[in-house]
Amino acid sequence: MADAALGAEQHPVARTSRYRADREFSSPQEAIALSAMYGANHFPEVRGLACLTERGTTPTMMSRLSSGLPIFALSRRPDTLQRLALCRGVIPLFFDFAAFSPQDLEARTVEFLVDGGFLSRGDFILMTMGSTQGEAGKTDLMKILPVK
């Protein structure tokens, strides 16, 4: 049964979605979350999405779109990680991103995912975060990062 489910998720139809395609977004956070999923689904070198999150709202919104890609929810809050374990396609991981300077954050995030065996050299990761670290509900940045 697990093999059938994994095979179905890899089918091209599983990577397309019409969720909210005909409605306007209600917040910058929703625009980033859904744009990230559409972008990742249409850029074949992207191997996953990394969301730096306090409350888990962005990865929760992302999980509503069909995708065969993992959504790595990186948070320093155990309650957020527990809640995100229930979302489809979300892999909650403890990561204290506030411990790093803004200049080092991207490299440290990629390094964390490579060390965990989630990414390999030559992959790309799509990353979302807030421009003001540590503030919940402020996701406003999206980047596609190469794994070097």
Domain-embedded: residue 84: yes
Domain-embedded: residue 42: yes
Domain-embedded: residue 54: yes
Domain-embedded: residue 109: yes
Q: How many independent structural domains does the chain possess?
A: 1
Domain-embedded: residue 55: yes
Closest CA to 127 of 102, 146, 103: 146
Domain-embedded: residue 124: yes
Task: Calculate the CA dihedral of residues 30, 78, 118, 67 and round it to 10 degrees.
Answer: -30
pLDDT at 103: 87
Q: Each residue of 75-109: pLDDT tens digit?
A: 999 999 999 999 999 999 999 988 898 889 999 99
Q: Each residue of 9-28: pLDDT tens digit?
A: 665 555 554 555 566 766 88
Domain with 62, as residue range(s), is: 2-16+26-146
Euclidean distance between CA atoms 134 and 117, whole angstroms: 26
We report the CATH number of the domain holding residue 68 as: 3.40.1380.20
pLDDT above 90 as % of the chain:
53
The average confidence (pLDDT) of the chain is 85
Euclidean distance between CA atoms 106 and 114, whole angstroms: 12
pTM for the structure as a whole? 0.81
Q: Which two tokens stand for residue 139?
A: 């996701």
Domain-embedded: residue 21: no
Euclidean distance between CA atoms 10 and 2, whole angstroms: 13
